[in-house]
Amino acid sequence: MTTVDVSPAAADADELSVWPASTTPLPCGDLEVGGVPLAQVADRFGTPVYLLDEAEVRERCRLYAHAFPHADIRYTAKAFLCRAMARWVAEEGLGLNVCSASELEVAVAAGVPPDRIVLHGNAKSPHDLEAALRLGVGRITIDSLPEITRLAAAVGPHDEPVKVLVRVVPGISTGLHEKTSTGTGVQKFGLSMTDGSAHHAIARVLAQPELELTGLHCHLGSQITSVRPYLTAVHRLTGLMARLHQSYGFTTRELDLGGGHGIAYRPGEPALDITALARTVRAEVCQGCAAAGLPVPRLIVEPGRAVAGPAGVALCRVLTVKHTGARTFVAVDGGMSDSPRPALHGVRYAPRLVGRLSLAEPTRVTVVGRHCEAGDILASDVPLPGDIRPGDLLAVPAAGAYHLSVASAYSPVGRPPVVAVADGYARQVVRHETFDGLARQDVG
């Protein structure tokens, strides 16, 4: 007869499954991450505040390096970027892909070699392209036909050809939120394989002596938890590689499969199995190339959320508790300005009371932000102790990606600081955006 462990320790371990691996419960009801109690971080740096576990970031970089030993791993900076983060991932052997000149400058300032950086973006500005050429990025991803002309014109007569990838859209629906699905044909990214745009763009690039086409790029979307869409993409991309070789004699040296690797935000949710992805994708590429008589290209993958997301924790304090009819609203000092993803993409988080031990039975509540927006809801119908009260500290796991990078100065409350923890020490790596700093931008 199989027994099930229903002890408090087992239940707590399940609840902590979406937290950094270093997370340890403390007897006082607090949690320790990276050897630092969360309540200590909140008291020292104020709330709202983001916490980032350096060891978790590094371990996730190593997971990718181990799973894809013969591929180039490029961290997607738009998930979260500061100089400390760029330095950590570079020290673990990863490159970066950036979407603006500003992200590029941060990466270079952190010491990331420019030749390990790729510039992405569906509408790169002249400033973006100028910075990429000036600093010598390793690759630029072509996203539209006009971009081919603009980039070729920006290359000096005595410069080496610029290495580029062409972003193609394979026409694959992943069943994701409509705002995070980018593999279908009708959206703003890339060049469609189904209407011939991708083939035409590649021919244009091959005709430009200022550009050197190294391969193909595709990105199916975000928060994908199944390997199957990637295998379908590989099948279609190797078919395109065969047609390009037949038409132009072009051999694809690099195949960039993007990122979008899904993580669990709440206990019990699925996450993409990176080891299975690496094994099956590699086999599918080898099989497709063998059938077409082509050499196997070097793979590139671009994790962002899967590196930063599980390493982050957002902390906020309860301001009010309001009972309205059958619902209880718990309002915190954060909101959609620092936790925008519930409003943008419908993400559901699992906040937890930390800093004190409560023996009260849990009750279902809605955690809301401080902004005058009906949609400023951080977590709906989640269990929190029935004695939740103003001054309590709430912690939200899996909050390392698309928080600060998408945060705003709404109201204007200023963006929270970022605190890195490691080996029992906490240090601020991004300062709090103060009103004085915001006021200096208002010239009156």
Residues serving a catalytic function are 372
Please state at what angle helix 197-206 crosses helix 228-248, rounded to 10 degrees. 50
Q: Report which DSSP code applies to 160.
A: P
CB 174 within 8 A of CB 221: yes
- What lies within 8 Å, CB to CB, of 4 at 6+ separation is none
- What lies within 8 Å, CB to CB, of 311 at 6+ separation is 20, 52, 53, 54, 56, 57, 60, 400
Please state at what angle helix 126-135 crosses helix 145-154, rounded to 10 degrees. 50
Tell me how crowded residue 179 is: count the other CB atoms within 10 A of its CB. 12
DSSP 121-147: -SS--HHHHHHHHHHT-SEEEE-SHHH
Residue type, 161: P
Cα–Cα dist 280/265, whole Å: 25
Cα–Cα dist 15/231, whole Å: 32
* Rg of the chain over all Cα atoms, to the nearest angstrom: 23
Q: How many residues does the chain have?
A: 444
Strand ranges across the sheet with 24-25? 24-25, 31-33, 36-37
Whether omega for the bond prior to residue 412 falls within 30 degrees of 0, making it cis, is yes
Backbone angles phi, psi at 39, to 5 degrees: -60, -35
Cα–Cα dist 212/407, whole Å: 37
